[in-house]
Structure 1
C-alpha cells in the first residue's frame, strides 16, 4: 500500500502545466460523485488526498501562488460542473422547436459552466492563501481543510449564497453518519469529512519520497478513526431516537407528477389544479374525531387559481373534510397600480374555520358559496436567480430569450421566515430554494412543531438535482430536530422524522399521496441554539494548532 501511494505521489509531483490542471479537474469530478445519487464515498479520499498532493506540486513551483490558485480553481470547476449540470435543464423546458432547443441548450450549459467557473474562484483564492503556510508534514492536511472549508462557507453566503453540495452533504444518505449536523451543522460535518478524506495523503511526505524519511501508515488510521467516531456518535444518538406521533393529526402529502411543460401551460392550469385535488382527501387520510388533517400540495400547484376564480374554493367542500387545512403552493398578486402587480411565490393556507391568530393583512377576502377561504399566505423570501428573478433581464430579452420565470415577470420577495399556528400544530413553511440554507428555516425564538417544504424539481428532469435537493432537506430536519413534510411536484416527496430518517416516501416521477401521522419534534438541538458557532470554534482550534506548530521554516514541529 505504501509503495503504491509513494509511486502515485511521485507521479503527481511530476505533473506540469495542463497535466496538473487536467488532473485537478478530473479529481474534482470524482469528488462530486460522492454526492447523490452516486454516493461513491471513497472518491472523497481520492479527490481531497489527490488535491493535497497537487498542492505539494504547486508549492515547489517558482510561481507557487499562480499554480496553487489554478490548481484549486480547476478542481472546484470540475466539482461544480458535475454538481450543477442539472441547472441547464431549466432553460431547455422553454424550447419551442429544434433551433430554440439548441440555442437554449447552449445557453443553459454555458450558464452552468459560467456559474461553476465563478464559484471556483473562491477555492482558487483559498489555495492561493494556503500555499503561503504549506508545511511539509501531515499538518498540511489541516491547512487544506481550513482553507477549503472557509471557501465553502463564503460561497454559501456571499452574492445571495449557493450552499449546494456542501462537503457535509456527502453523508446525508446515511442516517448515522449525518447525525453530527445536529451539533455542529453541515459546515462543521463537512470540515471533519475534509480532514478525514485528505489524511491518507499525509502517509507520504510533501517532497519526493526518495529524499524524505520513511512514509507512515498512521494517517490512514487517523482518517478511519474520524469516520468511526462520526458513525459511533450517530449510532448512539439514533439508539435512543424513539419518536412519538402527534395525537389527532394526520398529514397528506400530494405528488401529482405533472410535467414541467404542462405546469407552464396557462391553458392547463385548471387541469393541474384538479390533478392535485383529485388525489386529496379520502377515507385513509381522515384523522380521529376532533383531529386535524393537513393536506400539502407542491410548489405552484394552484398558481393564482383561488385568487382569479373564487369559485375554486367551493370545490374544496366536496373533496376535503371540514377538519382539513390545505397548504397549497401557488402564486398570488397584489395590485400596486393601474395594471401593475407584485407577484409572490407563496404557500397558501386554506381552511373552513379561521386559524388561531389569523393574519389576513396580505389576503383579499373572496366570496364563495362555502366557508372555505385563503386564511393566510407565506411568501417566499429567498428567491432563486433565473427561476424567480432574472439578473441582467434586459440582456436576455435583447437576444430573444425573454423571461425564464414562469409568470413572465420577477417575483417579489416576502418578509422572511414565519411560524404559523394551524390549530393542532405550529409549522414553518419553506419553499424550494430556501431549503438549501442551513439555519434559516424559521424565526429565531419561534420554533415550530414541524416544517413544510414544497418544491417543483420538475424543472431539472431526471438528473442529480432532485436527489441532491432531497438530501439537503434531510439535513435541515436533523439540524432543527424537527419533522419535515416535503411535497414535490414530480418527487421526491416524503415525511421525514426529526432525525432525518424517511418515514414514508414517493419516488421521483411517481404519482400518488403519502398518508402519515405527524412525527413529534424532539428537544431543540445544539445547532438550533448555536447555529454555526460551534463550527467556527472547531476552525479556530484547528487554526491555533496549525499556528503553534508552524515555525519560520514552514514546517510543523510535531508532524514534519
Structure 2
C-alpha cells in the first residue's frame, strides 16, 4: 500500500481528488466529516517528496478544490459579463489555476518539516498559515476555508474561541493524525484524534448574552433580473417592487432592510423615493438600503445608508478586485470591457466607520464579499451588538456560490455571537442566530419579505477580543517545532 502511494502518478491523483473531495464539506453538500479524510489524503500525497513534487501536488490539490468549489465564477463572467463561452472558459480556467497556486505554500512549508517526529502538527500549522496568507495576499480570497464547513459540526464551539483558522487547524490536524495512524499502524494516535472532536463538545458556543428588547425586522428581497436592472425599465421595476413589498409586509417592523444596490441608481436620484417610503413607515421605524453614492470628486462608493431617527452611512471598505476596481488599471484597462463593469471608479471606505443604529441595535456592516473576511467582521463586531450584511448574489445565478457565501456569513455570526441579518436580491436572505444557525430564511429566486425578530447581544467572544493572531501564532509554533526537529535529526545522522 505504501509503495503504491509513493508512485508519482498515484500521489498526484490523490492530491487532486483530495481537493475535489473538500468541496463536499461545504454548502450545499455539508458533509463536513469528509474534511479530515481529504486532509488525510493530502498528507499522504506529500510524503517522501522533494520541493518540486510538493509544489506540484499542492497545486493539484488547489485545482481540485477551486475547480470543483469555485467554478461558479464562470456564471458571473459568461451569463452576466457578456463574455462569450470560449473566452469565459479560458478566464475561469485561469482563475482556478491562479487560485490553486496558493495551496503550494502550505505544501512547501510542510515539506521543510516533513519526516520529523512532529510532522503531524507541522502539517496542520502549515495549512492554517496557508489559509491566512490566502486571505491577505493581493487583497485576499478567503473562500473555501476548511473551517467554514463546520458551523453545525462538533467543532463549532472552536469558532468563537479562535475563529475559522482554529477550526481549520483542528480539521487539518485530524486528517494528519488519521493518515499517520493508518500508515504506521500506530493505533494509539486515534485517541488524540478522538479528543480533538470530543473536547469541543464540552466547550460553550455562547460567550455573549441578550441585552435589550426584541427588535422586529423585515428583510426585503426583490428578485430583480441582473441583466436589465440598470436600464430605465429596470429602475422603474426596482422602485415598484421594493415599494410594493415594503408596503405589503414591512409596515409594522422596527427595521426594514433592502439589499445591496436595491435601487439601481445613485443616492441623489433615489433619495426622494426613499424618503417617501420612509414616510409610509411608522414614525420610529428605520429603513436601511444598499445604494451607490457619488461624491464631488467623481468617485463612487458602494454604500449602505440608514434613514429615520438615526441616519447614517457605511461605505464598503474591502473592494473586490476585477469586480469593483481594476488592479493596475493603466495596464489592464481593456478588461473593463470584458467584465462589463458599469462603474470602474469605485472607492474604498475607511476601516473605522461606526455602526449603523436602529432601536437599540448597533449594526456592524459588511457589504457582500466583506462578510467572508473573519478579522474584518470581528473589528465591526467589537463596537456592535448585531451584524448586518447585504449582498447581490444574482451574479452567480443558480450555482453553489451563494450557498457557500451564506455558510461563511453564518460562521461570522458564530465567531462573534451576534445576530446577523442578511438581505440579498434573490437569496439567500436570512436571519442568523448568535450560534450560527439559520433562525429564518426566505425562499430563493422569488420576491419575498422575511419578517422576524432579533435582540442586541452583550459581551465579546475570545475571538472578537483577540482576533486570529493567537491561532496563527500557535500554527507558526507547530510548524517551527517540526522544522527545527527535522534539522536536528539531519544533523545527528
TM-score by length of 2: 0.91
Q: Say if 2:146 is the partner of 1:180.
A: no
Q: Which residue of 1 aligns with 2:350?
A: 415
Q: Say if 2:273 is the partner of 1:312.
A: yes
Kept in 1, the 8 Å contact 2:288–2:305? The answer is yes
Q: Give structure 1 stretches of 5+ with no counterpart.
A: 1-6, 59-63, 206-213, 288-292, 356-374
**CA–CA separation in structure 1 for the residues paired with 2:32 and 2:125:** 21
Q: Which has the larger Rg? A: 1
Q: Which residue of 2 aligns with 1:360?
A: none
- Correspondence for 1:221 among 182, 191, 214: 191
Which fold has the larger relative contact order, with Cα–Cα distance below 8 Å and residues 6 or more apart in sequence? 2
CA offset at residue 470 of structure 1?
A: 0.5
Q: Which residue of 1 aligns with 2:18?
A: 27
CA offset at residue 120 of structure 1?
A: 2.7
Taking a change above 3 Å as real, the CA distance of residues 309 and 20 of structure 1, as seen in their structure-2 partners, is closer
Kept in 2, the 8 Å contact 1:428–1:442? The answer is no
Kept in 2, the 8 Å contact 1:127–1:147? The answer is yes
Q: Which residue of 2 aligns with 1:51?
A: 42
Q: Say if 2:239 is the partner of 1:273.
A: yes
- Correspondence for 2:169 among 185, 188, 191: 191
Q: Say if 2:364 is the partner of 1:428.
A: yes
Q: Secondary structure at the match of 2:213?
A: strand
After superposition, the C-alpha distances for 1:475-525 in whole angstroms (9 at most, x for unaligned) are 111222211111011111111122212211113324311211122314111
**CA–CA separation in structure 2 for the residues paired with 1:309 and 1:28:** 46
- Correspondence for 1:380 among 316, 320, 328: 316
Kept in 2, the 8 Å contact 1:270–1:305? The answer is no
**CA–CA separation in structure 2 for the residues paired with 1:248 and 1:52:** 48
Q: Say if 2:283 is the partner of 1:322.
A: yes
CA RMSD, Structure 1 to Structure 2 (Å): 2.9
**Greater shift in the superposed pair: 396-405 or 190-199:** 396-405
Taking a change above 3 Å as real, the CA distance of residues 257 and 475 of structure 1, as seen in their structure-2 partners, is same
CA offset at residue 204 of structure 1?
A: 4.0
Taking a change above 3 Å as real, the CA distance of residues 495 and 398 of structure 1, as seen in their structure-2 partners, is closer
After superposition, the C-alpha distances for 1:94-122 in whole angstroms (9 at most, x for unaligned) are 466xxx5324xx33x43333233223333
**Greater shift in the superposed pair: 259-268 or 515-524:** 259-268
Kept in 2, the 8 Å contact 1:133–1:554? The answer is no
After superposition, the C-alpha distances for 1:406-452 in whole angstroms (9 at most, x for unaligned) are x3433111123431333532212210011111121365796112111
**CA–CA separation in structure 2 for the residues paired with 1:312 and 1:184:** 44
Kept in 1, the 8 Å contact 2:427–2:442? The answer is yes
Q: Which residue of 1 aligns with 2:53?
A: 67
**CA–CA separation in structure 2 for the residues paired with 1:248 and 1:55:** 52
CA offset at residue 295 of structure 1?
A: 0.3
**CA–CA separation in structure 2 for the residues paired with 1:323 and 1:423:** 8
Kept in 2, the 8 Å contact 1:396–1:402? The answer is no
Kept in 2, the 8 Å contact 1:175–1:499? The answer is no
Kept in 1, the 8 Å contact 2:313–2:356? The answer is no
**CA–CA separation in structure 2 for the residues paired with 1:250 and 1:154:** 40
Taking a change above 3 Å as real, the CA distance of residues 252 and 116 of structure 1, as seen in their structure-2 partners, is same
Q: Which residue of 2 aligns with 1:389?
A: 325
Kept in 1, the 8 Å contact 2:110–2:479? The answer is no
Taking a change above 3 Å as real, the CA distance of residues 495 and 66 of structure 1, as seen in their structure-2 partners, is same
Taking a change above 3 Å as real, the CA distance of residues 522 and 142 of structure 1, as seen in their structure-2 partners, is same
**Greater shift in the superposed pair: 47-56 or 451-460:** 47-56
**CA–CA separation in structure 1 for the residues paired with 2:491 and 2:221:** 57
**CA–CA separation in structure 2 for the residues paired with 1:404 and 1:198:** 44
- Correspondence for 1:473 among 409, 413, 423: 409
Q: Which residue of 1 aligns with 2:218?
A: 252
Kept in 2, the 8 Å contact 1:21–1:74? The answer is yes
Q: Give structure 2 stretches of 5+ with no counterpart.
A: none
Kept in 2, the 8 Å contact 1:439–1:479? The answer is no
Taking a change above 3 Å as real, the CA distance of residues 495 and 315 of structure 1, as seen in their structure-2 partners, is same
Kept in 1, the 8 Å contact 2:45–2:57? The answer is yes
Q: Secondary structure at the match of 2:166?
A: helix
Question: How many pairs does the alignment contain?
Answer: 492
**CA–CA separation in structure 1 for the residues paired with 2:383 and 2:279:** 34
**CA–CA separation in structure 2 for the residues paired with 1:443 and 1:232:** 27
Q: Which residue of 2 aligns with 1:126?
A: 106
Q: Which residue of 2 aligns with 1:85?
A: 71
Kept in 1, the 8 Å contact 2:160–2:463? The answer is yes
**CA–CA separation in structure 1 for the residues paired with 2:185 and 2:213:** 60
**CA–CA separation in structure 2 for the residues paired with 1:237 and 1:125:** 32
